[in-house]
Chains A and B, each alone.
Chain A
Amino acid sequence: MKKAILFNNVKKNFGKLEALKGIDLTIEEGEFFALLGPNGAGKSTLINILAGLAKPSSGSIKVMGYDVIQDYQNARRSLGIVPQELVFDPFFNVREMLRFQAGYFGKGRENDDWIDEVIEGLDLQDKANTNMRMLSGGMKRRALIAQALVHKPPVIVLDEPTAGVDVELRKKLWQFIKKLNQKGHTIVLTTHYLEEAETLCSRVAMMDQGKIVALDKTKNLLKRFSAKNLNLRLDLKGKKIPASIQKLMKNLDQHSISFLIEEITEVEFIISELKKSKIKILDMELTNSDLENVFLKLTGSKK
């Protein structure tokens, strides 16, 4: 199979700060790939370098075999990027904006049918002749997705596409993206919402502090870290949670406490410790591992 994206030892320094510490990553054609990581992990820097908006300090990047610096025109043609921020030209309506965007890539009137298809696929028909300025946030997001697709790029990168988008739109959006993936487009996605990556993506890379800390099939990652979540609702009444089990604690809020369980015996341990401290358990739930657990484990950061 052809390589959709190839990062070869990509480094990027901003002054003394090493934003990317040597990224090696290959994404195959047709993959649905997720790039995860906390804020400041280097995801956006990596995408900017891919898009040609930033220059790598060293290393090389290829899109569909085209070097993004030497063969930038072909590389850009192969790539459609949905930016994280809502950037748009306030002078034009959606259809005009899409036609211009296609024109920059050398596509003329013959491309209008595809523009219609994209507009329909993203449910933008009613807004096709509305000025970009007048659109709601969610609609702007859709228009920007359409903008990334007008030149039919084989590789599509979505940088946090669902930040600030309501559930209904998120669902529609993913439907459309999934369809594109089935047609053979390679999809790369960065997101904070781990559950999105979990349900959509076949492979995941996790970044932290400028490095890739995990790279595997989603299900392997989940299997490898077969931890479970134990969610408890406790009747604390001013009592403190015993120190012996505090290190297993993942999350604490007013109503519930969740623990990260790696061995099932730890459940027994937690319950007996709570009993010793005479804390009553009101409710209990055991859920399967999710990417968040994997992530916490890898980055060692407790939220």
Chain B
Amino acid sequence: MINFKSELIGTWTLLKKELLRFWRVVFQTVAAPVITAVLYLLIFSHVLANHVKVYDNVEYTAFLIPGLIMMSLLQIYSFALLYVDLPILHPWVIFGFAIIGGALLGTFGIIAGIWAHRFDQMAAFQNFVIMPLSFLSGVFYSIHSLPPFWQKVSQLNPFFYMIDGFRYGFFGQSDVAPLLSLSIVTFFFIVLASITLGMLKSGYKLRS
């Protein structure tokens, strides 16, 4: 009764539905993050561009963009390109980190969705987990500019490796070797994905 083809159709249907749903609320899912990212870009580049030097041959504004893209993981790149000259050295690295980063955040989302019973719990997850992890990840700076303690903290943050590796794809320079970043992010993904699958299988908070 069950065969490979019908499993494939099932998975494909779920993907299609989620993409369509995403597209139905495009104002919320695409336009809003674009605006947010552009605001960050304008303000931080205006205020900091002449004061912060991260890599010798990379402009601060250019440095900022990969971080912002990873932060919203959306089509901001094409938009940002209008303003800043952004090199792409290793497109496959960019692609790889975008996929694994998206997958990692996807597992985060499923775990939060299963755990949360109300919308305020979902907001708490966003504000107390996702936001601190994003801001302590080096979107706006290279972690070498942080005090040693916060450098250590950042090194425990999977978001840091996602952004650092993603940035390597653009500039060929990074704080951590990209292969190490990729391994660490993949490790986090496998751990979280196993937790998610375990939750779904055991029916945690889903089945009484």
CA gap between A94 and B60 in the complex, in Å: 50
Which residues of B have CB within 8 Å of A105? 6, 10
Let me know if B13 and A91 touch, CB within 8 A: no
Which residues of A have CB within 8 Å of B21? 89, 91-92
Binary flags per residue of A69-101, CB closer than 8 Å to B gives 1, else 0? 000011001000000000001011000100110
Q: CB of B89 within 8 A of chain A?
A: no
Q: Determine chain B's interface SS by DSSP, over half rule.
A: helix
CA gap between A14 and B24 in the complex, in Å: 40
Let me know if A106 and B10 touch, CB within 8 A: yes
Q: CB of B12 within 8 A of chain A?
A: yes
Q: CB of B7 within 8 A of chain A?
A: yes
Q: CB of A107 within 8 A of chain B?
A: yes
CA gap between A73 and B1 in the complex, in Å: 9
Q: How far is the CB of A97 from chain B (nearest CB, A)?
A: 9
Residue of B nearest to A12 (CB): B208
Let me know if A104 and B208 touch, CB within 8 A: no
Which residues of A have CB within 8 Å of B7? 106
Let me know if B208 and A91 touch, CB within 8 A: no
Which residues of A have CB within 8 Å of B3? 106
Q: CB of A53 within 8 A of chain B?
A: yes
Residue of A nearest to B8 (CB): A106
Which residues of B have CB within 8 Å of A73? 2
Q: CB of A103 within 8 A of chain B?
A: yes
Binary flags per residue of B6-21, CB closer than 8 Å to A gives 1, else 0? 1111101110110011
Let me know if B10 and A104 touch, CB within 8 A: yes
CA gap between A151 and B94 in the complex, in Å: 41
Q: CB of B25 within 8 A of chain A?
A: yes
Which residues of A have CB within 8 Å of B207? 52-55
Q: How far is the CB of A290 from chain B (nearest CB, A)?
A: 35
Q: B residues 24-66 with Cβ under 8 Å of A?
A: 24-25
Which residues of B have CB within 8 Å of A48? 208
The one of A55, A74, A99 in contact with B208, judged by C-beta atoms closer than 8 angstroms, is: A55
Let me know if A74 and B1 touch, CB within 8 A: yes
* A100 with B203, Cβ < 8 A, contacts A55-B208, A91-B21, A91-B24 known: no
Which residues of A have CB within 8 Å of B208? 14, 48, 53-55
Q: CB of B118 within 8 A of chain A?
A: no
Let me know if B24 and A106 touch, CB within 8 A: no
Which residues of B have CB within 8 Å of A89? 21
Which residues of B have CB within 8 Å of A40? none
CA gap between A72 and B207 in the complex, in Å: 14
Q: CB of A108 within 8 A of chain B?
A: yes
CA gap between A53 and B203 in the complex, in Å: 9
Q: A residues 269-298 with Cβ under 8 Å of B?
A: none
Which residues of B have CB within 8 Å of A77? 1-2
Residue of B nearest to A14 (CB): B208
The one of B2, B12, B20, B203 in contact with A55, judged by C-beta atoms closer than 8 angstroms, is: B203
CA gap between A55 and B3 in the complex, in Å: 26
Which residues of A have CB within 8 Å of B9? 103, 106-108
Q: CB of B117 within 8 A of chain A?
A: no
Q: How far is the CB of A133 from chain B (nearest CB, A)?
A: 12
Q: How far is the CB of A291 from chain B (nearest CB, A)?
A: 30
CA gap between A89 and B14 in the complex, in Å: 13
Q: How far is the CB of A129 from chain B (nearest CB, A)?
A: 14
* A74 with B2, Cβ < 8 A, contacts A52-B207, A55-B203, A91-B24 known: yes
CA gap between A91 and B24 in the complex, in Å: 7
The one of A96, A103, A106 in contact with B5, judged by C-beta atoms closer than 8 angstroms, is: A106
Which residues of B have CB within 8 Å of A103? 9-10, 12-14, 16-17
Let me know if A106 and B2 touch, CB within 8 A: yes
The one of A14, A52, A53, A104 in contact with B13, judged by C-beta atoms closer than 8 angstroms, is: A104
Q: How far is the CB of B93 from chain A (nearest CB, A)?
A: 34
Let me know if A100 and B13 touch, CB within 8 A: yes
Q: How far is the CB of B206 from chain A (nearest CB, A)?
A: 8
Q: How far is the CB of A250 from chain B (nearest CB, A)?
A: 36
The 4 lowest CB-CB distance pairs between A and B, nearest first, are: A106-B6, A103-B13, A54-B208, A106-B9
* Extra A-B contacts (4), CB below 8 Å, given A89-B21, A91-B25: A14-B208, A48-B208, A52-B207, A106-B10
